Each structure stands twice: as structure tokens, then as C-alpha cells.
Structure 1
Amino acid sequence: MTRFLHAADTAAAQSLAGFVAAHEDLVAFGVEGKFVRRRVLTPGKVAVISGGGAGHEPLHCGFIGAGMLDAACTGHVFTSPTPDQILAAMDETDTGAGCLLVVKNYDGDVMNFEMAAEMAAGRHRIETVIVEDDAAYGPSVRSRGRRGVAGTVVVEKLLGAAAERGDDLAGLKALGEGLSGRVRSMGVALRGVSLPDTGRETFALGPDEMEIGVGIHGEPGLYRTGRAGPEEIVRLLCEPVLAQLSPLADACPLLIVNGFGGTPPIELHLAHNLIRTFLRPHGIVPARALVGTFVTSLDMAGLSVTLALLTPAEFALWCAPVATPTLVW
């Protein structure tokens, strides 16, 4: 596949340079270019820091700004950022109230963020929230426990808004952990990921096949099945999500329809319409929806459905003002 890349090992750094230049009113490089941070920090506010491998854009750097993240660390494609990157981000963005680390549940991310927290324990107050929203949880999934996927956007937005209003570390950790059972996601792929270094797809699908329950690193899903129509795909995604959500009285449902990088807006909005139709008989009418490309897997053709059952107070945090390169309201 033809790409706008010089080489796979420099792609992430070159992309980040272009990203920072395009959004220099909002973001800047941290020390030695190890991470990206808000251009203007807020003194006395908990620093909310996240990160992961490249290839998931606009996650995480696209969500840096007022009302969301203070910094994000990016590794090579599908490779976790290193502990020294994370440590540098904590050193530069902690303005006195400590650091909250938002970590997707992938082995490399968890390990490196834990190492950075241990290295920084003597000079920073630190709490960690692990995102594990994937409904595709089973023996064929190549990770331990539920993966952190598109529900990461919900967690980062709510925690960012709460930090912006002045919540302390303990309150932010409690908020993040309280979301765990009420945010679920499920993804489908019609084509695998073609890796920049080899050009090969991480898994090959026939013209009449699809993969249900995929992750965001090009890994296969729970099972492969014959290609179905849009209504059936929506059912296969939504039923596990609904089955695994913890019930909540007076919930404010939030729906995210997320493209994996190779799915155009016309298809995402078509899916959104079908998802709303599917949810209605189940008594779920989204109070707000987000449709677009937010958590990608390079060029994977596919999408994911995220449903979050929020309390009214949490929903207010979602609706609170945000100014990032990707989300603005």
C-alpha cells in the first residue's frame, strides 16, 4: 500500500511535529520533544496525563487542551511510550496538585506507566486509572483482561473536566474507577491493518468475511464470520455491549460511533442511525452522541460502538466546555 511515509521508525516523530505545528495555539512539545503538552498549564490543577502507541490518532494528543488532557506521550506505531517519556511529562506538567495517569489496559502501557510512577514516587503525588471498556473479552483476545479502546475518550473527557473544575486526586481516581462497569465498547473490522514497516495486513479477511471484537492494535477479534448487512453488524456489536453494562437508574446514555481509520463519515453516520434504532426498543435513547474518527487502528476498515451510562453529574462533565484539537464545545 502506498503511504505518505519516509520510514516506519520515523513516522510517529514526523507526524507529531506536523500535529504540534498545526495546533500551536493549543499544544507544545515538552522537554526534548518527549511528549506533547498544553501550551498553557493551569497552576494548582491535577495534571491529567495519558498516552500510548502511535497509530491511534487522534488519540491521545488530539485530546490535549482545556477540559481534557494536560499531556500525552506517544510511542512508535503500536508501541507503548517509554517510562522516561512519562516521567518527563509528570515533571513538566505537575503544578502542585499531583498527576493522574489514564492508562489503556494493554500490557505494555500498564507496565511502562507503572514503572514511571515508581520512578516519580518521591517527587510527585500520583494516582492511576486503568481503562478497560472492551466488551470483546474472551480467550482469543491477545491481552489480559478487558482492553482499553474507544471508551478511553469518555474517561479522558470526564476526568479532564473534573480536574478543570478543581477536583483532587482522590476524587478523580474515584470518578474514573466508578465508570468501569458503565462504559463498554465493541468493534468490527472488514479489513485488517496494513503495518507501515511491512505493508502486510495483521490479519487477512476474505471478500465475504468480517472480524467481530477487534482491538485497536490490529489484533484479531473474538471470531470471524460471513459478511452481514449493516443491521446485523449493529446487532452483533450492540448486544454484547448491552449485556455487559451495569444498570443505572436515571442514566444519561452517551453513544460514540468511532471509525478505525479506513471508514468514511457516510458509513459512520449510517451506522449511528441504525444503532439508535436498535437501542430504542431496549429503552435507551442517547442523551448525546459523538460520531467520527477518534480512536484509530491505522487504516483498519471498521468501526466500534461505545455506550456509556452516565449519572447526571457525569453527563454534566461530558457537556462541560472543552478546547482541544479534536473536541471543541
Structure 2
Amino acid sequence: MKKFMNAAETMVAESVEGFVRAHEEFVVFGADRQFVRRRHLVPGKAAIISGGGAGHEPMHVGFVGRGMLDAACVGHIFTSPTPGQILNAIEDVDTGAGCLLVVKNYDGDLMNFEMAAEMASSRHRIEMVIVSDDIETASTNDGRGRRGIAGTVIVERLLGAAAENGMALADLKTLAAGLASRVRSMGVALTGVTVPHTRRSTFSLGPEEIEMGVGIHGEPGRSREPFSNADTIVRHLSEVVFNEVAPVSDKALLFVNGLGGTPPAELYLAYNVAHRFMQGHGLQIARSLVGTYASSLDMQGLSISLALLRDEEFTLWDSPVATAALRWGC
């Protein structure tokens, strides 16, 4: 295994330090370097905090800044941040209007964010929203429900924009609840993930196989399918996603996300296929996002996310954002 790293044990810390140095106009380290926070906090604004294991970059640290997150907590690769990290972030970025914790639906994330919220509740107003946009885990019977994957980017952007505009904590939670059934995603992979600590791939595929329904922690999907051309693969993803989104609008945001090892040319090709499919099924694609925003280390793969949004939510999407990974209107 070849990686640009010094040691697996120090890879995350060195990477996050490099990120902060590269983007000092947006971010600084929080207390004891346990989290990354927005450089310029806004007094009286509800704070938006998220986080998760490393390996998903630029999510979540790349979304810290104006119009998105106030802080992001980073754990070890594919491992939740600790309750202490999250608690320290709450203490640092709450400027008086409380904190909204945006949590992907994974056991470790849920447990640690809930624990931090409980520890902070005597001194801070805390609300928590759970992102669960992944279609492929919807039908499992293990009680966990849908995972949170690339749709998290859309949720964080809309909540961050609303908070920047002065929306109160309770109203932010209501906004998130309204989005829950209108954001859906599904992923596919051509390879597994090479994890630095184990130096092994999380799963192996033959030259004529793909993994359908993958998550963002290197976990395999729910079916192994024959490799085919892009039209066939992307149309299948698009059809499943389209059929799962609550039909409250005919205007949508279409997001094609790279999982770490897929070049832009292939992502744009996939977007073209998905766009044609959605238009052919009566959807107006009013906004688009294409690129690697919620990765799974070096996985060769992509996901399709579809968000049916209302006019006021498109206005939030379009409002100014200034982060390392997303920037417009500033």
C-alpha cells in the first residue's frame, strides 16, 4: 500500500493541521486542537456543529465558515469524534443562541453526540438533527434505519444558511425535519477502500463487478452487480433515488458526489446521465453540485443525491457561503 503519509497513527492530526494552515481565512483550531471552528463567530447566531470520522474530506471541516458550519469535530479515520471534543466545540462556539448538532445516522456518531448534548444541556440550549438520506439501508431490519451520507452536505448548507440569516434554534430544527423526507442518496463503487491502519481493502471486486449501495465508511453495499456502462449504472441509481423522494415539488437540486477516487470527468459524465433521467421524469433541475464533497478515502465510486426543495430553500442555497470547499456570493 502506497500513501502520502508518515505513519497511520499521525495521519489525521497532520492532515487537519495542514487543512487549517491552508485555509486560515476561514478556520482556526479550537481548544487543544480538538476541533476546527469558524475564525469569525457571529454573536447571537445559533451555532451549527457537525463532525465525524476522518476519511470523508472535505466533509465536515471543509464546510466550516460563513453560511455553513461553526465547528467540525474530527475523529480517527471512520471513527466518531469523542464526546469531549464535541462538548468543547459547544462551549467554544455558542455565542448565546444555542447550538444545533447535525449528526449522521451511525451508532458511534449518535452515541457520542447525544452524550455531549446531555453534558452540555445544563449550560447551553442544544438541539440535534439526524441526517439519514441513504436509500440502501432503508429496508434493513436492524433498527438503525437509513445512514447519513452525501445528503448531509445539502442539509448542512441549508441549515447553515438559515442560521446565518438569523433563524432561531427551534426553527432550524423544524427546517431540518421538513427536509428529512426530501433528500435521498445512493452510492456505487468500483473498488473498496484502503484503510491506512490495516493496509487492506475493505472489500474486493472482480474486474467485471461493482458494489451497489455502498456507504462512506468503506462498508460494502447490499448487492454485487455485473459491471456495465455508465448509462446503465447511473440510470439505476437515479431511478431508485427518484422513486424514494417525497414528491412535494417538481424543482430539485441534483448532487453527484465523488467517493475519493473518481476523476471529475467521470463525475460530470454521470451528472449528464442523471440530469437526462430526472428531466425525462418531469423534474426541473434548478440547482446542481458536482464534485468530491463527502468521500470515502480512496474509493472509486460515486453517489447520486436528489433534494426536492421549496423556493425559500433554493434562496437559502443561493445565499453567500464562504468555506474551504464551497464558496459563492461573497
What TM bracket, shorter-length normalisation?
over 0.9
**Any unmatched runs of 5+ in structure 1?**
none
The superposition leaves residues 104-130 of structure 1 with CA deviations (integer Å, 9 ceiling, x where unpaired) of 001100000000000001000000010
Q: Say whether the 8 Å CA contact 1:182–1:246 is kept in structure 2.
A: yes
1:16 lines up with 2:24 in the alignment: no
Name the CA distance, whole Å, in 2 between partners of 1:143 and 1:59. 26
Alignment of 1:38-117 (within 5 A): 38-117=38-117
Name the CA distance, whole Å, in 1 between partners of 2:28 and 2:294. 21
Name the CA distance, whole Å, in 1 between partners of 2:295 and 2:142. 18
Classify 1:8/1:257 alpha carbon distance in 2 versus 1 (closer, same or farther; 3 Å).
same
Partner residue, 1:284: 283
Partner residue, 1:326: 325
Partner residue, 2:259: 260
CA positional deviation for 1:198: 2.0
Q: Which moved more, 1:270-279 or 1:31-40?
A: 270-279
Question: Percentage identity across aligned positions?
Answer: 62
Name the CA distance, whole Å, in 2 between partners of 1:4 and 1:139. 39
Name the CA distance, whole Å, in 1 between partners of 2:320 and 2:237. 30
Partner residue, 1:183: 183
Letter in 1 for 2:195: L
Letter in 1 for 2:175: L
CA positional deviation for 1:235: 1.7
Partner residue, 1:3: 3
Name the CA distance, whole Å, in 1 between partners of 2:47 and 2:18. 24
CA positional deviation for 1:140: 6.4
1:219 lines up with 2:213 in the alignment: no
Name the CA distance, whole Å, in 2 between partners of 1:183 and 1:139. 17
Name the CA distance, whole Å, in 2 between partners of 1:41 and 1:314. 24
Partner secondary structure for residue 256 of structure 1:
strand
TM-score (norm 1): 0.98
The superposition leaves residues 51-79 of structure 1 with CA deviations (integer Å, 9 ceiling, x where unpaired) of 00000000000000000000000000000
CA positional deviation for 1:142: 8.4
**Any unmatched runs of 5+ in structure 2?**
none
Q: Which moved more, 1:128-137 or 1:141-150?
A: 141-150
Letter in 1 for 2:212: I
CA positional deviation for 1:97: 0.2
Letter in 2 for 1:270: L
Partner residue, 1:271: 270
Partner residue, 2:130: 130
Q: Say whether the 8 Å CA contact 1:252–1:315 is kept in structure 2.
A: no
Count residues in correspondence: 328
Q: Say whether the 8 Å CA contact 1:142–1:219 is kept in structure 2.
A: no
Partner secondary structure for residue 50 of structure 1:
strand
Alignment of 1:157-168 (within 5 A): 157-168=157-168
Q: Say whether the 8 Å CA contact 1:106–1:143 is kept in structure 2.
A: no
CA positional deviation for 1:289: 0.5
* Cα RMSD after superposing both structures: 1.2
Classify 1:183/1:96 alpha carbon distance in 2 versus 1 (closer, same or farther; 3 Å).
same
TM-score (norm 2): 0.97
CA positional deviation for 1:143: 8.1
CA positional deviation for 1:236: 1.6
The superposition leaves residues 285-328 of structure 1 with CA deviations (integer Å, 9 ceiling, x where unpaired) of 21010100000000000000000000001111111110000000
Classify 1:114/1:15 alpha carbon distance in 2 versus 1 (closer, same or farther; 3 Å).
same
Partner secondary structure for residue 53 of structure 1:
strand
Q: Say whether the 8 Å CA contact 1:58–1:295 is kept in structure 2.
A: yes
Partner secondary structure for residue 201 of structure 2:
coil
Letter in 2 for 1:93: V
Classify 1:201/1:211 alpha carbon distance in 2 versus 1 (closer, same or farther; 3 Å).
same
Q: Say whether the 8 Å CA contact 1:80–1:108 is kept in structure 2.
A: yes
1:304 lines up with 2:285 in the alignment: no
CA positional deviation for 1:138: 4.9
